[in-house]
Structure 1
């Protein structure tokens, strides 16, 4: 009789375990505003919008925890947004200032900059909006120039990695060209290569004040009903255009996609455990429906098992502490 449970004794389990999860696999997303005091995001208990001045303390905490790094998202007041999202690529933009401060105070901390326009545009879309015969739409090619400017400004500020998330066709090629010609050929691109038009982004849009003013993003983000061919095509194009790292977003609903990409592309893969995933776990734990520690770590192990080299998660600091406690 076969007895798989013979390998599940307390002494053997660690020896035969194949999936490793450590704090270095985790990236902490940070929402950054210019000034004031930190503000908790109501739909994401434990997650805050932080003023720039608090970032060195948060960066030190990330380093002490052994995290792989942080990724920055800018938050602007509504009155400072405009149709072309100038705040995304301004020399004194909130993310550019945050990067300079972090790299000056904590040069050993990996700082990733999210490269998009939605947090900075008055209409909340990820690019230049035009009006056509079928209504408003995002002009893909006009947006590429602004994304390239944004990435270059982030590299000039000192970002270690730029991470384009707008899902515009050709964005990786445009950004690679701008970085190379601007004197930053060494700065890698972490592409949100496979990003779905997901229902799990709601809390993020509250945190970053980036909900679309009209319509949705299904015209440029991927259809959850599409087959694996769509993910392979998107990831393959970004790979060819010069992405150094590829990401799947969200993580848990698309573990099958992550696993399929792992066997086909020779680039490190990342996954984003997005705001809705975090909120579901956190709120269920607060209600007493789940053991938070066990549930969060179980999901992170699943993402690693599916093939993610790195995981962006709002639970990074808590998970790092739990992993160290054993």
Structure 2
């Protein structure tokens, strides 16, 4: 049958009708809100490239967490900016590290709020790379190679220290080969068999990370991250990366960034049965904010459309700096 018997507009005639037949719905339980924690006192500093997102010192952290909890957002993702940095990122796995201290505080205030710990070294190393680096000079320039297997040992120490501090989910973002297997073994050996791994399985070497580099003070001091993060031109490689993580024991798979990689999310959703996480990254956030500030777009409408499309592409969970705004909009 076809027109005029078939009229697709019949199901679009009213708000009630559209709501009733809507296929994809954003829910507050889909959301994870990132938080940037730093040392010092009485610090709540807005990140210049990310309007509405702040650095919080530990003594100001509760006001942010109170707001997140009051909105019903079920989880936070912690990033830490340490007091000191060194070649191996030792602050990342220190018992009194910034992420560890923040985790203990959050779990003492809100035991049921899930704390997701970003497990990487880039914020904690003086060179800004996600692992241990062998440095050398070439033509008068400092160069370096990120050493994969040696880095795994440090990442395991970081994950275990985060779990000991009370993290509910370990989220390794380093893109070293074998990182899920190494971290899973390390957690299990230390009695944390129950702690899931949310793997940054498909993480592209993306230009959309620019504002995060400011937020986390993690820009590489030399070179780039293209030897370990994925080429944005590649799709089949994403399947190989994700399959490795599934076989190594990942509990959740992530695609990062998300807005330009919805085809990758759909592919992973069709191929694997693990929960799928979309990371709506800093550059995606900031370009929407910038356009909204100029009055060029309707921020609420654009954000809801953007995040709904990520769910439609297959995401079960969305990490987004818009989480608080979206939660308010959902509550009406």
Number of the residue aligned with 1:4? 8
1:142 maps onto 2:140 in alignment? no
1:31/1:72 contact within 8 Å kept: yes
- The separation in 2 between residues aligned to 1:64 and 1:265, in whole angstroms, is 34
1:57 maps onto 2:63 in alignment? yes
* Alpha-carbon offset, residue 46 of structure 1: 0.5
* Most deviating of 185-194 and 50-59: 50-59
Number of the residue aligned with 1:287? 294
- What is the aligned counterpart of 1:164 among 169, 172, 176? 172
* Alpha-carbon offset, residue 62 of structure 1: 1.4
SS of residue matched to 1:253: coil
1:23 maps onto 2:28 in alignment? yes
1:59/1:109 contact within 8 Å kept: no
Where do 5+ consecutive residues of structure 1 fail to align? Answer: none
Q: What is the root-mean-square deviation in Å for CA atoms of aligned residues?
A: 1.2
- The separation in 2 between residues aligned to 1:57 and 1:152, in whole angstroms, is 28
* Alpha-carbon offset, residue 63 of structure 1: 1.7
2:78/2:118 contact within 8 Å kept: yes
Bigger radius of gyration among the two: 2
Number of the residue aligned with 1:220? 228
* Alpha-carbon offset, residue 5 of structure 1: 1.4
- The separation in 2 between residues aligned to 1:131 and 1:57, in whole angstroms, is 42
**1:13-92 → structure 2 map (5 Å cutoff):** 13-36=18-41, 37-77=43-83, 80-92=84-96
Superimposed CA distance per residue, residues 263-297 of structure 1 (whole angstroms, 9 cap, x where no aligned partner): 11010000100000000000100000010100111
1:200 maps onto 2:208 in alignment? yes
Output the TM-score relative to the length of structure 1: 0.97
- The separation in 1 between residues aligned to 2:198 and 2:35, in whole angstroms, is 17
**1:250-289 → structure 2 map (5 Å cutoff):** 250-289=257-296
2:82/2:97 contact within 8 Å kept: no
- The separation in 2 between residues aligned to 1:263 and 1:62, in whole angstroms, is 32
Number of the residue aligned with 2:115? 111
| Aligned length in residues | 322
Where do 5+ consecutive residues of structure 2 fail to align? Answer: none
- The separation in 2 between residues aligned to 1:165 and 1:107, in whole angstroms, is 25
SS of residue matched to 2:217: coil
SS of residue matched to 1:169: coil
2:292/2:298 contact within 8 Å kept: yes
- The separation in 2 between residues aligned to 1:94 and 1:290, in whole angstroms, is 37
Number of the residue aligned with 1:185? 193
* Alpha-carbon offset, residue 56 of structure 1: 2.6
* Alpha-carbon offset, residue 108 of structure 1: 1.0
